[in-house]
Structure 1
Amino acid sequence: MTDLNHVERWAGVLIEKLAPAERKKLARSLATDLRRSTRERITAQRNPDGSAYAPRRGQAKTGRVRRKAMFQKLRTTKYLKSKYNAKGVSVGFFDRIAKLARVHQFGLRDRIARRGPQVKYERRELLGFSTQDVNLINDGLIEHLTR
């Protein structure tokens, strides 16, 4: 995960001088861009560091089974949400779907079905900052502040 402290150091003072309405406008554009970037990364099935997700476990079925990509519904706007205000931006999974995302994010144990066996899931980082996201934040800040 990339550290955002250096962005906060150079831009924090400038952002504090903006009016609350301007900060909210900036937060909205950054939240939209970060959500789009995260969605594209999940679609490409990449961790924030650029490595590929761990593959699914093999199934016991014989014959060819065509599978859709992992997290196909999870990356939609219904589940992957961005929240923003004048104080900050957050992109993530909220409410009930957050448990499923947390299990995959940290590689935890969970049940396959309600009364099914517990399984240890592979770690697949759905959320996090890649170097492209940090560049996106830097570019968005510079563009907004120079207007």
Structure 2
Amino acid sequence: MADLEALETWLSPLLQKLDGRGRAQLARKAAQQLRRSQQQRIRAQVNPDGSPFEARKPRDLRGKKGRIKRRMFERLKMAQYLKAKGTPQQAVIGFAGRVSRIARVHQYGLKDRAERGAPEVRYARRELIGLSEEEIDNLAEMILSELV
């Protein structure tokens, strides 16, 4: 987080030279780039620090045993759910709609029910949205190339 604050203080005088429309376009482009990198990281099942997501707990569905065939968050990474927005003041990426609750539970490792009537379970913490050092560097590089 300290790197992000340092980046912000370093870039703010440069960004003030742009008009509101230019800042909004730059923020939109930055948000789209961040969304792409977050989608790739979710697809790879990796936290921002590079550690893999904690594996799912095995489920016993009506006596049937077997492996889970789909990766976690396969649909959450789609642009339909993972939204990117840029305004002159900020660039924002986040989950929209009903899936935001699922994402929040996994992002912070909260308790939730898998289905109605099921017992509450504490989910493992899996950081779906976060910035790695590489993403911060790529973001700074993109902004500098746009400003020059």
Q: Given the two structures, how large is their TM-score scaled by the length of structure 1?
A: 0.93
Equivalent residues of 1:2, 1:130 under 8 A apart: no
Among all aligned residue pairs of Structure 1 and Structure 2, give the percentage whose two residues are the same amino acid. Answer: 39
CA 64–99 in structure 1, closer or farther in 2 if over 3 Å, else same: closer
Q: Once structures 1 and 2 are overlaid, which stretch shifts more, 131-140 or 33-42?
A: 131-140
The residue type equivalent to 1:90 in the other structure is V
Separation of aligned partners in 1, 2:3 and 2:98: 28
SS at structure 2 position matched to 1:4 = helix
SS at structure 1 position matched to 2:74 = coil
What is the aligned-residue RMSD (CA, Å)?
A: 1.5
Tell me what 1:137 maps to: 139
Tell me what 1:51 maps to: 51
Does residue 17 (structure 1) correspond to residue 17 (structure 2)? The answer is: yes
SS at structure 2 position matched to 1:119 = strand
Q: Map residues 85-100 of structure 1 onto 2, 5 A cutoff.
A: 85-100=87-102
Equivalent residues of 1:2, 1:131 under 8 A apart: no
Offset, 1:132: 1.5
Offset, 1:65: 3.1
Offset, 1:49: 0.5
Question: Following superposition, which runs of at least 4 residues in structure 1 exceed 6 angstroms of deviation?
Answer: none
Separation of aligned partners in 2, 1:92 and 1:98: 8
The residue type equivalent to 2:144 in the other structure is I
Offset, 1:95: 3.0
Offset, 1:16: 1.2
Separation of aligned partners in 2, 1:124 and 1:65: 20
Tell me what 1:77 maps to: 79
Separation of aligned partners in 1, 2:49 and 2:31: 20
Equivalent residues of 1:81, 1:94 under 8 A apart: yes
1:96-146 CA-to-partner distances (Å, cap 9, x unmatched) read 221110100010000111221111100000011111110111111111111
Tell me what 1:124 maps to: 126
CA 111–63 in structure 1, closer or farther in 2 if over 3 Å, else same: closer
Q: Given the two structures, how large is their TM-score scaled by the length of structure 2?
A: 0.92
Offset, 1:2: 6.4
Would you say how many aligned residue pairs link Structure 1 and Structure 2? 146
Separation of aligned partners in 2, 1:26 and 1:83: 11
Separation of aligned partners in 2, 1:137 and 1:70: 27
Offset, 1:15: 0.3
Tell me what 1:6 maps to: 6
